[in-house]
Amino acid sequence: MFKVIIVENYEELSKAAFEVMKDYLKPGKVLGLATGSSPVGLYKNMIKDHIQNKTSYKDIITFNLDEYVGLPKDHKESYYTFMHEQLFNHVDIKEENIHIPSGLGDLEANCKAYDEAIEKCPVDIQLLGIGSNGHIGFNEPGTPFTLGTHVTDLKESTRKDNARFFDPLGEEVPYQACTMGLATIMKAKNILLVANGENKAKAVKGMLEGEVSEDLPASILQNHPNVTVVIDKAASTLLEKKY
Ligand code: F6R
């Protein structure tokens, strides 16, 4: 079941997403979080709310969607670094309450342990962005809906999308990532997906109005009971139904 909120621009999108998220910024809640450019404005609103309204993250637990394979935590482009720079360093969350998949060491064991940790601590709200090819997390087109957290090869299109961050470092985009699977994501009690810009319009259309198919991983969300989708006008241009 989708609730679709269409707003004018990215600033409004970030505010509308915060309005949904703020109900979960309470002691004991478990947040599933995402990296990428889409949630950055929401994170800014969360930081502002922490500073102005003293909303505390001391008893909030987080699980991130994914991490590149092969990057140490302190790598400039690791998702560990991204999350600390964009959110965690600016709120009072406890480091031991932060979970981000590890892309180093025994990857299979890490993925299994990650799913076990989520099983014990079910996610109240999972934040998602969407790739221009319809991926969520790093579940690329063709990923079986049944997978839990796993290691995956990144599609060339995704590596290209992310090259803008690695090129200035003179480094290659990693070839693999460790990601929550679609079965893991679907276990979240609520889902909040944010998408902005024209290059997301096709994926958004497929997710909301296409058939449920592994060719467009986000279409699985049609089977979830509680999904809020916040998009800007540009990402909504191909939609045919009224929302
Ligand atoms: C991020 C993630 C990805 C992104 C997606 C959109 O943790 O799992 O699925 O949400 O690639 O990225 P942006 O927001 O940069 O367009």
pLDDT, tens digit, 9 for 90 and up, residues 128-141: 999 999 999 999 99
Query: Using a 6 Å cutoff on CB, does residue 67 contact ligand 1?
Result: no
Q: What is the pLDDT of residue 197?
A: 98
Ligand 1: atom nearest CA of 158 is: 11
Edge-first strand listing for the sheet containing 150-153? 66-68, 176-179, 150-153
Q: What is the pLDDT of residue 124?
A: 98
Residues known to be catalytic: 66, 133, 135, 140
The matching CATH number, chosen from 3.40.50.1360, 1.20.1300.10, 3.40.50.300, 3.30.70.260, for 2-236 is 3.40.50.1360
Query: Using a 6 Å cutoff on CB, does residue 235 contact ligand 1?
Result: no
Q: Which segments of the chain does DSSP mark as H helices, in order?
A: 10-21, 40-53, 79-86, 107-120, 156-166, 182-186, 201-209
Distance 36 CA to ligand 1 centre (A): 4
Residue nearest to ligand 1 atom 10, measured at CA: 129
Q: Cα 43 vs. chain centroid, distance in angstroms?
A: 12
Which DSSP symbol is given to 71? Answer: -
| pTM for the whole structure | 0.97
| Tokens (6 digits) for 108 | 């299979």
Q: How would you classify the pairing of strands 125-128 and 30-33?
A: parallel
Distance 38 CA to ligand 1 centre (A): 7
Q: How would you classify the pairing of strands 176-179 and 66-68?
A: antiparallel
Q: Cα 196 vs. chain centroid, distance in angstroms?
A: 14
Q: What is the pLDDT of residue 99?
A: 98
How does pLDDT run across 101-120, given as a tens digit for each residue? 999 999 999 999 999 999 99
Q: What is the pLDDT of residue 126?
A: 99
Query: Using a 6 Å cutoff on CB, does residue 37 contact ligand 1?
Result: yes
Query: Using a 6 Å cutoff on CB, does residue 101 contact ligand 1?
Result: no
Q: Give yes or no for a contact between 212 and 204, defined as CB atoms under 8 angstroms apart.
A: no
Q: What is the pLDDT of residue 179?
A: 98
Which residues in the chain come in under a pLDDT of 50? none
- How many C-beta atoms surround the C-beta of residue 163 within 10 A? 13
